[in-house]
Structure 1
Amino acid sequence: MCKLSTSLARAPWAPAPPARPAKGRVGLWGLPGLTLHRLALPDWKAPALRIAVLADPHVCRPWVSPERIAQIVAYTSTLEADLIVLAGDLLPDRKMMCDHLVADEIVPLFKPLTAPLGVHAIMGNHDREDCPLDRASNGQSNSIIQAFADNDMQLVRNDAVELSHSGYPFWLVSLDTQRGRGKRRMGYADAEAAFSKVPQGAPSILLAHEPDYFAAGDPRPMLQISGHTHGGQFTVFGRRPATPSRYGDRYAIGHIVEEDRHMIVSTGLGYSGFPFRFGVPPEITLIEVFSPMDPRGDS
C-alpha cells in the first residue's frame, strides 16, 4: 500500500495579484480556479514532478473566448510546471449556442505554453464528433490534428513519449478518444498500441480524455490523467447526474483510487450542452507527483 498525500487545495485564480477567488460555482461567466493534487506514488523514484492540466476548454464566444484562453495560458505559465497537458476537447460542442470557432483559430491560442518536458495534447471526443472535416470524411481527416501539425505542436494519439526528469526516465502514454460514431462506435483508443513502446515495469503516466478507461484495471500506468466529465457540470443533492460516463458519477471528479491505482479527473475549463455550472467551478489542475521516500513530499 503506497503512502498517499490526501491534501487537496483550491487556490485563488488571478492573472496577477491581488488574487481573486474562483468563480463559476453558480453562473455562466466563471473564471477557473487552481486545484492542487499531491500524490506520493511508490513507482516514482525521481524528484517531485509538477504537471499542469488544461482540460475541456471548448473554445467559443462568448463562453470561453480567445481572450479568456490568453489569460489562462498566461497564468498557467506562472505555475512553473515541468510538464503541461492539454487533455482534449478544444472544439466547442456543435449543439451549443455560441460562435463556433474553428481549429485554426483555437489551436494557436495554446502555442505560447512552454515547459521543460514539453506541452503534450491529446484528442477529446468533441475534437472528433464536432469537427466538420472529421464528420465529412468519416474520420479520415481532422482539423484539430491538422492544426497541431501546422503549428508544430505535439498531439499524441495511441502512442508514448519517453521523457526524463532530473535524469530519471519515464513514459507519457496517450490514448485517442474512447468515443466514436458510425463504424467507430468503440472509439479510436488503442491501449496496446499506446503502450507498445513502454518497457515492462517502466514508470508511466497515461493521458486518457475519458476517465472510463480506468475501469479496465490496467496496472501499467502509475497515474491516469483525464478530463471529459466537467465534474458533471452541476450537482444535485451531492450527485452528478449529467456525468457523461458509462459508470455514472463514479469517475466524475478529482483524485480516484482503486486497488492502489490512481487517477486525477479535472473538471476542466469550459461547457458542453449548456453554458452553466452549479457547484462545479472550472479549474486549472496542478498535479505534484513525488516519491514516498522524499522527505520534502509532505512539506
Structure 2
Amino acid sequence: MRTIGWMATGLALIALAVAGWWYRNALADPVERRATIVLPDWPRGAQPVMIAALSDIHIGNATMDAARLTRIVAQINAAGPDLVMIAGDYVAGHDDGVARAGARDLVAPLSRLRAPLGVVAVLGNHDQSVPQAIREGLERAGVTVLDNAAVQRGPLAIGGAGDAFSHHHDLPATVRAMMPLPGAKVILTHSPDLSLDVPPGIGVLFAGHTHCGQGVLPIIGAPRVFWQPGLMCGLVRRGDLTSVIGAGLGTSGVPFRVNAPPDFWLVTLKGH
C-alpha cells in the first residue's frame, strides 16, 4: 500500500508540473508570424500595407487581464503595423457580468494601439451575451466595429462579417457593402468557416476562433473541434482566397496551451 501511495503522489506531482508548464505556455508573449500576400486587385501605385491581425483576447479569465493585454499591445506597436484588425472574442466565457467587466477592462489597453490606418474589429461568439457593451467599449478605445458592413482604409476595402459560428453573419450584405468601395477587397470575421462561402474577387480573409487547437496533444491532436476540417490554423489557400487564421492571444475553457502558442500575424498586402 505504501508503494501505491508513493506512486500516486509521484503521478500527482507530475500532473501538477505538466499543468504548470501548460499554464505558462498560455501566458507567454505571443509569437509574431509574418506573411506577404500579393493581391491582383491592388490599386495601381498604392504602397504595401502591413496588417497586424489578432483575435481571441478573452479578457477576464486566468490567462488574460488588462496588464497582460497592455504588454501585448506594446509588442504589436513595436512591430509598426499600418493597420490593426481584431477578429473577435474579446471577453471570457458567456457570463454577462464577466463580459461587462471585460468590456470596461479592454478600453485602456486597446486605446494604446497605434497604426496610421487605425484599428478595425468584428465581434465573435463569446461577445454575443452583451454585444452592445463590448461594441461601446471598443469604440471608446478608438476602434471601428463592423457588423456585416464595410469601411475603406487606405488601399483596402474591408468587409467586417458577423460570426458564422454563432449565426450572426450576413455575407451577402457584407459583400454588397464592400463592392462600391475602392481598393483591394478583404474580409475580417471571427470564424474561418465563413471562408467556404466567400465569392470570387476577394483575396484575403482574416479570422480567429480556433485558437489553433489550443491543446494539440501528441497522437490525439486537438481534442475539441469547432471548425471545418482544414481550417484550424495558419495560412489556408482555397482557390484565389487566402485565409489567415490566428491562434489568438488568450484562452477559452481551461487556461492551458499545448503546441499552440498565442500569436498574432503581421501580413503585408501588396500588388504585383
TM-score scaled to structure 2, two decimals?
0.82
CA deviation after TM superposition for structure 1 residue 105, in Å: 1.9
> Quick one: distance in 1 between partners of 2:245 and 2:236?
8
Structure 1 residues 28 and 84: CA distance shift in structure 2, 3 A: closer
Aligned length: 246
> Quick one: distance in 1 between partners of 2:50 and 2:262?
20
Q: Give the match's secondary structure for 2:113.
A: coil
1:2-60 CA-partner distances (Å, limit 9, x unpaired): xxxxxxxxxxxxxxxxxxxxx96974432211111222232324322100012101012
1:226-257 CA-partner distances (Å, limit 9, x unpaired): 00100011223384342321x13x10000000
Amino acid at match of 1:171: A
Structure 1 residues 152 and 232: CA distance shift in structure 2, 3 A: same
Q: Is the 8 A contact 1:62 1:99 kept in 2?
A: no
> Quick one: distance in 1 between partners of 2:81 and 2:246?
16
Pairwise CA RMSD: 2.5
Amino acid at match of 1:258: R
> Quick one: distance in 2 between partners of 1:106 and 1:213?
26
Correspondence for 1:230: 211
Structure 1 residues 28 and 194: CA distance shift in structure 2, 3 A: closer
Amino acid at match of 1:35: R
Q: Give the match's secondary structure for 1:161.
A: strand
> Quick one: distance in 1 between partners of 2:171 and 2:65?
34
Amino acid at match of 1:289: L
Amino acid at match of 1:178: A
* Structure 1 range deviating more: 187-196 or 199-208: 199-208
Please tell me whether Structure 1 or Structure 2 has the larger radius of gyration of its CA atoms.
2
1:163-209 CA-partner distances (Å, limit 9, x unpaired): 22xxxx330110122233xxxxxx11111221223337952110011
Correspondence for 1:107: 107
Correspondence for 1:38: 36
Aligned structure 1 segments of 4 or more residues deviating by more than 6 angstroms: 23-26
Structure 1 residues 224 and 105: CA distance shift in structure 2, 3 A: same
Correspondence for 1:175: 161
5+ residue gaps, structure 2, are 1-20
Correspondence for 1:216: 197
Q: Compare the two structures and name the one with the higher helix fraction.
A: 2
Structure 1 residues 202 and 52: CA distance shift in structure 2, 3 A: closer
Q: Is the 8 A contact 2:92 2:126 kept in 1?
A: yes
Q: Give the match's secondary structure for 1:277.
A: coil
